[in-house]
């Protein structure tokens, strides 16, 4: 791309800022002490350590690239904060440590904290039936309780997965009421509450509704008065109006060909996500896990509480936080993803050190980057590298084993099927030119329908499994669909 003189000059200034500017680029109120140490225990990171972090973001530091703001928090101070890439590609606005970003599921800890504060105040119980506050939800044989929402053990089908399966746009102007209505249409759960862990944005949307119905305040207003203002987080809010102008917020991007396209979801849903913040504000929240300024010690203990599944298996998901270990050190973390935004906050509590990342490019692997930052900064305090499972929200199943072709089943399962649970979305099984089966569904490319082991079981697109009913008069009456975060969505044969 040919650069104008103005752009060339701007890029030169940006490169200097991104690769050299450190904590001094923060507002004066957020600047750490000027002293330096190799470990970063106080003051700023040593130059060699900062340069090693810079190298992790080199790809984002070129002109015309969206990127990240990255920070290191240690012992109550910001010891590293730099911006890499551009917050707005249309207007050539660089990312700085003060740029605001949408954080996706990093928001869940603030939703969970709101619930925890209400529990501590005696205004609700974790054992309350969710229908006490949201009666429009279906009644199930085993009640869904508030604690199940918190720990992702509710069995509620994930509403974003339902949106995708229904073939409607992720970036449409949804409201919480829209998603509640979709949840209310579901006739079943993924599993009995408490018996399994499966990440569910629906559960955290429900928690936001519960906060509103108990307090009479929106989650935005409650969190602002109970969390953000007491901690001095002046740049932080639950954005519940996508038309609102948010000064200093980065636009988000996803790849398109050799360039980028804008990827910002225009919905008004909060609870599962929705928080907009900065590196400096996120550090104030992170430090509260040591000071207990908001909530006190009992609140902090509750926020880190995990509960085993009913069968006794471990569940590491606490209150919007995953509790585990990394290289022998305790690690409390969460990532976030919405549209082209990516975020992460990884805290090593015994070392009083955290790694924060706020990004506006969908290709940013925030988990890998946060852990590589930890490797650089905490190298002398970490043990040997070990295998590590997926972080919260990154879980995915494995494709089932393929079976032999069964052309004798084709005539029974070819046809159109509709699902009331997906708002009447129609899926169609057709025979392709080669005779092999294809699945056609709304707003998606046709995909092969691949036979799996077991009669009338098929895979579509890798992670969808269709189990057809036993044929009646030569035709399957319907099928049940399983996906990553939903099970047993019912489809019934529709008229041709």
| Tens digits of residue pLDDT in 243-296 | 999 999 999 999 999 999 999 998 899 999 999 999 999 999 999 999 999 999
Handedness of CA 95, 97, 99, 104 (dihedral sign): positive
Whether 400 is in a domain gets the answer no
Residues 459 and 345 in one domain: no
Q: What percent of the chain has pLDDT over 70?
A: 88
Residues 489 and 432 in one domain: yes
Cα(166)–Cα(172) distance, integer angstroms: 13
Domain final residue pick, 395, 418, 444: 395
Q: Using 50, 70 and 90 to split pLDDT, how confident is the model at 386?
A: confident
Whether 429 is in a domain gets the answer yes
Whether 402 is in a domain gets the answer no
| Number of independent structural domains in the chain | 2
Cα(123)–Cα(115) distance, integer angstroms: 9
Look up the CATH number of the domain holding residue 443: 2.40.128.50
Look up the CATH number of the domain holding residue 309: 3.40.710.10
Residues 361 and 489 in one domain: no
How, if at all, do strands 36-37 and 44-45 pair?
Answer: parallel
- CA–CA distances in Å: residue 4 to residues 62, 65, 66: 15, 17, 19
Residues 415 and 367 in one domain: no
Domain final residue pick, 332, 363, 395: 395
Residues 391 and 470 in one domain: no
**Pick from 176, 174, 160: which is nearest to 219 by CA?**
176
pLDDT (tens digit, 9 = 90+) per residue, 64-91? 999 999 999 999 999 999 999 999 999 9
Q: Using 50, 70 and 90 to split pLDDT, how confident is the model at 169?
A: confident
Residues 370 and 412 in one domain: no
Boundaries of domain holding 433: 407-493
Q: Using 50, 70 and 90 to split pLDDT, how confident is the model at 387?
A: low
Whether 158 is in a domain gets the answer yes
For residues 130, 132, 138, 144, the Cα torsion angle rounded to the nearest 10 degrees is 30
Whether 401 is in a domain gets the answer no
- The first and second tokens of residue 423, run together, are 């708002």
Cα–chain center distance at 220: 18
Whether 291 is in a domain gets the answer yes
- Find the mean pLDDT for residues 27-47: 46
- CA–CA distances in Å: residue 180 to residues 2, 199, 260: 49, 17, 33
- The first and second tokens of residue 54, run together, are 């810079």
Residues 385 and 482 in one domain: no
Q: Using 50, 70 and 90 to split pLDDT, how confident is the model at 495?
A: confident
Residues 319 and 271 in one domain: yes
Residues 199 and 306 in one domain: yes
- Find the mean pLDDT for residues 46-56: 97
Whether 73 is in a domain gets the answer yes
Half-sphere exposure of 90 (CA within 13 A, CB side): 6
Residues 483 and 356 in one domain: no
Whether 68 is in a domain gets the answer yes
Cα(296)–Cα(230) distance, integer angstroms: 13
Residues 168 and 79 in one domain: yes
* SS3 per-residue string spanning 93-127: EECCCCCEEECHHHHHHHHHHHHHHHHHCCCCCCC
Residues 94 and 189 in one domain: yes
- Please tell me the predicted confidence (pLDDT) of residue 399: 56
Cα(106)–Cα(64) distance, integer angstroms: 27
Domain final residue pick, 395, 428, 446: 395
The DSSP-derived string for 55-101 is: HHTGGGGSTT-B-EEEEEEETTEEEEEEEESEEETTTTEEP-TT-BE
């Amino acid at each position: 791309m040919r650069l104008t003189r103005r752009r060339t000059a701007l890029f030169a200034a940006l490169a200097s800022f991104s690769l050299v500017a450190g904590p001094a680029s923060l507002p004066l109120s957020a600047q750490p002490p000027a002293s330096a140490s190799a470990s970063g225990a106080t003051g700023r990171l040593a130059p060699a350590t900062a340069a090693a972090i810079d190298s992790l973001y080199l790809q984002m530091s070129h002109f015309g690239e969206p990127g990240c703001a990255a920070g290191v928090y240690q012992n109550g101070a910001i010891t590293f904060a730099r911006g890499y890439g551009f917050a707005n590609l249309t207007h050539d606005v660089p990312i700085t440590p003060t740029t605001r970003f949408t954080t996706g599921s990093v928001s869940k800890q603030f939703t969970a904290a709101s619930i925890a504060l209400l529990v501590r105040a005696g205004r609700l119980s974790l054992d309350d039936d969710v229908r006490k506050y949201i009666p429009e939800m279906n009644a199930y044989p085993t009640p869904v309780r508030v604690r199940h929402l918190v720990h992702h053990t509710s069995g509620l089908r994930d509403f974003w997965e339902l949106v995708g399966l229904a073939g409607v746009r992720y970036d449409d102007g949804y409201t919480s009421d829209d998603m509640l209505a979709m949840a209310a249409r579901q006739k079943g759960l993924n599993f009995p509450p408490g018996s399994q862990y499966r990440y569910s944005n629906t559960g955290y949307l429900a928690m936001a509704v519960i906060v509103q119905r108990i307090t009479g305040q929106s989650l935005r207003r409650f969190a602002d008065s109970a969390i953000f203002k007491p901690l001095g987080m002046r740049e932080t809010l639950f954005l519940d109006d996508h038309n609102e102008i948010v000064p200093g917020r980065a636009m988000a991007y996803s790849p398109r060909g050799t360039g980028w396209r804008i990827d910002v979801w225009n919905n008004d849903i909060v609870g599962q996500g929705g928080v907009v913040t900065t590196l400096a504000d996120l550090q104030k929240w992170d430090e509260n896990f040591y000071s207990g300024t908001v909530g006190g010690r009992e609140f902090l203990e509750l926020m880190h509480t995990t509960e085993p599944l009913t069968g006794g298996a471990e569940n590491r998901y606490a209150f919007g936080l995953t509790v585990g270990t990394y290289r022998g050190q305790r690690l409390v973390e969460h990532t976030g993803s919405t549209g082209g935004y990516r975020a992460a906050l990884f805290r090593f509590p015994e070392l009083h050190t955290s790694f924060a990342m706020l990004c506006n490019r969908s290709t940013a692997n925030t988990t890998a980057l946060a852990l590589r930052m930890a490797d650089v900064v905490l190298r002398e305090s970490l043990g040997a590298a070990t295998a590590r499972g997926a972080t919260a929200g990154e879980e995915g199943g494995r494709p089932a084993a393929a079976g032999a072709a069964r052309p004798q089943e084709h005539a029974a399962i070819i046809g159109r099927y509709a699902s009331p649970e997906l708002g009447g979305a129609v899926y169609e099984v057709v025979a392709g030119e080669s005779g092999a089966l294809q699945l056609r569904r709304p707003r998606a490319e046709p995909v092969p329908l691949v036979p799996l082991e077991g009669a009338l079981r098929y895979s579509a697109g890798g992670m969808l499994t269709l189990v057809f009913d036993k044929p009646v008069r030569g035709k399957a009456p319907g099928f049940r669909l399983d996906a990553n975060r939903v099970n047993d969505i019912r489809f019934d044969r529709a008229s041709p």
